[in-house]
Copies of this chain bind each other. A is one copy, B any other.
């Protein structure tokens, strides 16, 4: 089979995934729903989420329009100095990346906000149908995201045959992910904090009281942050890892005159999606089984199917076994990182217990304990990423020059191969979380609540494993992007006939590199700080709006029948503010890349990316895990330990959880996207950095 054959096969598998997603969507929609209250609230959430997405996409369209014009003018090279067709292709690819990702996000949100109510009602018929409704809702998202990613990469590459255009497509996906993930993260925590401050604290009304104008925004937040944001993030990683692998693979193929390396990327990508389809189709709870096992076992099934099928394909098509090995190592390490990192947030383990215990002595010790375990929790992923990069490099090094870095990129492809399954599991989380809330609002009774509780807790548990994959894969992907950056630089040197030696690496002892590294290391910290401060400012705005509604809408505060707050106003504020706060943070990261590049040239940029990756992974792991730890410690106390609800320990644990919220839902998970965006900017601008720099 030639390269075109593999691309056609990829497109075919993507189409199968879409068909499967459509069937699942239809299945979910057909699930019975009778409870009016659930229907009503569910509708509000659906409309709110749609309002957010529409607003976000409108702003994004402007942003993407401006970016597309800049790309048209300047990339891959200034339009007046090269072939303008390339610039047009680049701009279109960039827009394509935005559109494909936006489409996947839209579908995901749509099904998630339907599946939540269905899951709640299905719980009346038992845990198994309820599980299936939640899981299949999530799987629609999983199938759509991965199908779109594979389709997009295959189509762009088929049409253009140009890997730089792929980077443009990937950049489109990244800039959308920045909006979706960081913007969604700000949105969700804005609403969460504002709802708590005005509702629970000022008025003393319960969390989900419909009188609170922020309550729908709060529920919408779970969906836009966890479903749409996570989907865009993994779409981005998936596209970036395939693009990086293709940039290097095609460069190798050009040297050897073959197409094996490019073909492998599509082949493995298609098999990964196929394995996810089978895994999702198999997912089912045993009669008295528990949902955690059901979720994890389908992940393991997918992993096994992937390993076996890729081995078969490698034998059949005479691919290099060493590269298969790299990809398998990536997958294996992903599983290990997930399982080990889980230790730090698992409520049956010592870190959660000790943090709960520390809370007995007040919030300062809750914070210190969480920070400490969060710091320690970075080890498994950092060491795991380091080892998998090392092993895959050494495995592929004997294949010839350039294969070592390509091996790392294939390890990233391996880790991300089963991302369809991962997203299915991840999107399951917010669906059953929402279902739990709806079951409570719909008065479905204690038995149903017990079921949704157990589904919800399974969602939190498997999240650890999936998050391990996501972080590990992002880490390997950005290392691969560093390789892609070098490829791009060397391509520019060759193309423009510059009298500069080819770049083979970045020497730490070169002060341009070191300077870049120190600046790059500062960026994730500053980016995180800007997002966290943005959440705070935005929450203040929403609190003002809530006060205005309470003051001006007669009967609202008192809960007069028929008086409904203007939910949409809060959603508008959360949306507008999220985007307003996000843009400076995103621009800061991009401008810093440009400044460093125009000061120290490609060497400084190489250092910058490295510092950015190292510090970014460190902070992302720290914040995500500390946040998860505080969240679970609070739940652990609430379940009756260390004094239980209302105790001093509980108050302290709640403070820890509040600190952890923007850590784990806003800043931490957005850092991956920040790194990818910056890497892509660097690759796309490499040709300019090469000739224009100060030192």
Contacts and interface: CB of A to CB of B under 8 A. Distances in A.
A525 B378 contact: yes
Interface string A359-392: 0011111011101111110110011011101100
A322 to B, nearest CB: 14
A368 B526 contact: no
B364 A517 contact: no
Contacts of A206: none
A482 interface: yes
Contact of A519 (B382, B519, B525, B600): B382
A383 to B, nearest CB: 6
A615 interface: yes
Interface in A506-527: 506-519, 521-522, 525-526
A61 interface: no
A533 B362 contact: no
Contacts of A481: none
Contact of A532 (B368, B528, B615): B368
A516 B389 CA distance: 11
A615 B375 CA distance: 12
Contacts of A41: none
A206 to B, nearest CB: 19
A389 B695 CA distance: 13
Interface in A156-187: none
Contact of A390 (B383, B482, B514): B514
Contacts of A505: 507-510
B514 A389 contact: yes
A283 interface: no
A507 B383 CA distance: 19
Interface string A200-217: 000000000000000000
Contacts of A528: 372, 375
Given A375-B526, A376-B525, A614-B611, A518 B386 contact: yes
Contact of A483 (B197, B358, B509, B510): B509
B514 A479 contact: yes
B376 A518 contact: no
Interface in A394-447: 394, 404-405, 408
A695 B655 CA distance: 47
A662 interface: yes
B513 A486 contact: no
A483 B507 CA distance: 12
Contacts of A542: none
A577 interface: no
Interface string A615-637: 10110001000000000000000
Copies of this chain present in the complex amount to: 2
A376 B519 contact: no
Contact of A614 (B390, B482, B521): B521
Interface in A288-335: none
Given A508-B482, A508-B513, A617-B518, A529 B375 contact: yes
Given A529-B373, A659-B364, A695 B506 contact: no
A606 interface: yes
Nearest to A596: B386
Contacts of A369: 533, 536
Residue among A369, A374, A509, A617 facing the most chain B CB atoms (10 A cut-off): A509
Contact of A515 (B361, B387, B506, B655): B387
Given A387-B515, A507-B505, A615-B614, A622 B376 contact: no
Nearest to A623: B371
A483 to B, nearest CB: 7
B372 A518 contact: no
A488 B79 CA distance: 51
A610 interface: yes
Given A515-B387, A519-B386, A615-B618, A365 B536 contact: yes
Contacts of A358: 536
Interface of A: 197, 358, 361-365, 367-369, 371-376, 378-379, 382-383, 385-387, 389-390, 393-394, 404-405, 408, 479, 482-483, 486, 504-519, 521-522, 525-526, 528-530, 532-533, 536, 600, 606-607, 610-611, 614-615, 617-618, 622, 655, 658-659, 662, 695
14 contacts: A362-B655, A365-B536, A368-B532, A369-B533, A372-B533, A382-B518, A389-B514, A390-B514, A394-B511, A483-B509, A504-B507, A505-B509, A508-B508, A525-B618
The 10 closest A-B pairs by CB, nearest first: A505-B507, A364-B658, A393-B511, A375-B529, A386-B515, A386-B518, A505-B509, A372-B529, A375-B525, A390-B515
Given A382-B521, A521-B614, A614-B614, 8 more contacts: A363-B655, A372-B532, A375-B526, A375-B529, A378-B525, A379-B526, A382-B522, A655-B655
